[in-house]
Amino acid sequence: MAERRPLPAWFGWAVDGAPGIAFIVTYLATRDTRLATWVIVIGSVLAVAASLLFERKVRPILAVTAGLAVVFGGWSLFLRDFNIIKMKMTIVDTLLGLGLFAGLAMKKNPLKMVLGASFALSDHAWTVLAIRYGAFWLVSAVANEIVRRTQSDHTWVIFRGAALGVAVVFALAQTPFLLKHARQDGEVELPPPPDLGV
């Protein structure tokens, strides 16, 4: 039986980001909040299925964000309230950010536990990376809440699309830090962009 080839690094990024991108594209093309919500719910289920099929596992962050997308999306559809799906972003980002800082306070590093097998860093470097990601998620949560409360649905969707781009830039910006602090015996992989709950 032939050995499975490892998937390219971009595959995980694509699976994680596809539901959010499909949500944004659907809304901008139709201006239909219910249809866009259906798309993110179904897209999240398909993302988990694709991860299981091709990666033979579901990464913890994907499992959490997809599960919450289904719960909040379903709730939003049932109550016919688009604001619920908008609130999900604030809740997810806040939980992820606080989870990282709480882990660090307890002398554990959730980011290292999730991504430690992907590349080798010193404990100090893992701590710095966790602080950066935690701060990014908390800032994203605050920004989402401000836009959600003060702007129209259309503006909010544009904001979330821009936020996805910022997340990718943020992840790419960690490359010099990773290269500088990588242990010689480990391969360096870029960590995925911070999931923004879309």
> What does the pLDDT read at residue 195?
60
Q: What is the 3-state secondary structure (H, E, C) of 4-33?
A: CCCCCHHHHHHHHHHHHHHHHHHHHHHCCH
Amino acid in the structure at residue 3: E
137: its two tokens: 């998620």
Domain extents for the chain?
A: 10-79, 81-186
Residue 185 has pLDDT above 60, yes or no: no
5 falls in which pLDDT band (50, 70, 90)?
low
Question: 43 or 122: which carries more pLDDT confidence?
Answer: 43
Q: What is the pLDDT of residue 9?
A: 64
CB-CB contact of 134 with 175 (8 Å)? no
- pTM, two decimal places: 0.80
182 beta partners: 121
Q: How confident is the model over 89-144, as pLDDT tens digits?
A: 898 899 889 999 999 999 888 888 877 666 678 888 889 999 999 999 999 999 99
Task: Give the pLDDT mean for 54-63.
Answer: 80
Q: What is the pLDDT of residue 1?
A: 43
Q: What whole-number distance in Å separates Cα of residue 31 and Cα of residue 75? A: 20
pLDDT, mean over the chain: 85
C-alpha span between 195 and 191 (Å, rounded):
11
Per-residue pLDDT at 41 exceeds 60: yes
Place 55 in a pLDDT band, splitting at 50, 70 and 90: confident
Q: Quote the CA–CA distance of 61 and 16 in Å, as a whole number.
A: 9
- Beta carbons of 171 and 193 less than 8 angstroms apart: yes
